[in-house]
Amino acid sequence: MKLVFATHNKNKFSEVKRLMPEHITLLSLDDISCLDDIPETGDTLEENAKIKADYVTKKYNLPCFADDTGLLVDALNGQPGVYSARYAGPQKKADDNMNKLLFELKEKQERNAHFKTVIVLNLNGEQVIFKGKVEGEITLEKQGVQGFGYDPIFKPKGYSTTFAQLSVDLKNKIGHRGKAINQLITYLQTDPHAKQ
């Protein structure tokens, strides 16, 4: 079965591909020659994921899923949230985003935060939603070189290191995206329509 993951992010695609069972051929937007930067104009993570999945399904007529992930910081009233990827501007640079977040938290003792991922799957005329969440806190400085995005400044609850210091397999096991993707995979393996 061929399934499109609506992303241009090579790190994210690689992370998700590791989790997929062998009978599913995962394709990125680049693989289907979709070079468009699909606008994320929704007010919620769910709306953005739906916009991306629907765009691919309508334009290419392919089964597709899309995700949107946000980092929600308690002391910043849930910011950057839906704007996580472009928190420091439209250039969507991880270092810029992390630097801005660390600056915003400079004087704050409260550093609790959580990551949330919402996945929208379009398959055989049906739309299904999956969600994953992980609690943690924002560190005082960047630590680690693994991962991407805010990983170097997010320490998951129960761990003494950041996501960027964990192996990809462990991050997939305990992380927000991994939890949502595993729900998606379970659905694909148990839904009879998904095997067509």
Annotated catalytic residue, options 67, 68, 96, 191: 68
Query: What is the phi/psi pair of residue 98, to 5°?
Result: -65, -45
Considering all CA atoms of the chain, what is the largest pairwise distance in Å, rounded to the nearest integer? 55
SS3 (DSSP) at 22: coil
- The first and second tokens of residue 154, run together, are 């997010």
Hey, how many other C-beta atoms are within 10 angstroms of the C-beta on 108? 12
Nearest Cα residue to 119 out of 39, 43, 53: 53
SS3 (DSSP) at 105: coil
Mutual angle of helices 10-17 and 176-190, in 10-degree steps? 50
DSSP 132-182: EEEEEEE-SS---SSSSTTGGGEEETT-SS-GGGS-HHHHHHHSHHHHHHH
Taking a C-beta distance cutoff of 8 angstroms, is the pair 144, 165 a contact?
yes
- The first and second tokens of residue 105, run together, are 């938290």
Residue 31 is among the residues annotated as catalytic for this protein: no
List the catalytic residues. 68
